[in-house]
Copies of this chain bind each other. A is one copy, B any other.
């Protein structure tokens, strides 16, 4: 079974968001083994933003092997339709890529290094979303991708 890692900075506090995420993980378990890996949110305080981003990025990068694929949620990335996104996933699976690593940056964004390392930069919307919403949206799109790949009905 295909493995998916979803790297996120920090944890989700609100109970209803946790439940929503659990629901998508349950639905996704039919298609993939999805692990959410919450990395440390680096406090800003006296640090420069770049230093914070670098440290947060490093926490993701050190967990990804050189030959693995990384898909980064990035406001400055490219926008895809759900069908195009599903096709990216399909091609990667067909190429035997596993795990598929997805990453969502922290409050301040993503580091240059993380952006450069990523194989796909996905802009989910021109709108700015909260972290928690980004996590839910990405999980739902991954689920939707599997429904599309498998030609299954998805009543949305």
Contacts and interface: CB of A to CB of B under 8 A. Distances in A.
Interface string A129-156: 1110100110011001000000000011
Interface string A71-104: 0000000011110010000000000000000000
Interface stretch (A16-24, A28-36, A50-58, A62-70): A16-24
Chain A, interface residues (CB within 8 Å), range: 20 to 34
**Copies of this chain present:** 2
Contacts of A79: 125-127
Contacts of A128: 81-82, 144, 156
Contacts of A124: 125, 127
A129 B140 contact: yes
Contacts of A127: 79-82, 85, 124-125, 137, 141
